[in-house]
Amino acid sequence: MTSRILPPFQLQVRFSRNPRNARAMMRELTGYHVDPELAWVIEQKTMTQSEYRAFERDFTQPQHWIMPLNSRPTHCIRVVAPRMPTLYVRAEGANYARLVGLAVEES
């Protein structure tokens, strides 16, 4: 996994709250009306497909790279991997992906 600090930019993201995994996130985002939120994207994590799949299987696992985000509640991290949907992650005081979502144009 590689990290890159981005020039902060705002993006409309539809977040799923406390999803267990990617399937639960997609079920919430497609099955219910979820209003988009304006989030500041400040960092990008580029993962291999295997790292991404391990991450999306259980969003509740503690992640060391999420910890620095705790002091900034409206900031999020963009998570990318080849041929996988781009995820946006917010911690909101946790050490795991408490909110995970998709950009409005991608959902």
Taking the CA atoms of 104, 34, 100 and 29 in sequence, report the sign of the dihedral they define: negative
**pLDDT tens sequence across 42-91:** 999 999 999 999 999 999 999 999 887 665 778 999 999 999 999 999 98
Residue-averaged pLDDT of the chain: 92
Q: How far apart are CA 39 and CA 69, in angstroms?
A: 13
pLDDT band at 93 (very low <50, low <70, confident <90, very high): confident
* pTM of the predicted structure, to 2 decimals: 0.93
- Compute the average pLDDT of residues 33-50: 95
pLDDT band at 92 (very low <50, low <70, confident <90, very high): confident
Structural domain including 65 reads 2-103
Q: Where are the alpha helices (DSSP H) in 1-107?
A: 22-31, 49-57
- Compute the average pLDDT of residues 24-43: 94
Q: How many domains does the chain have?
A: 1
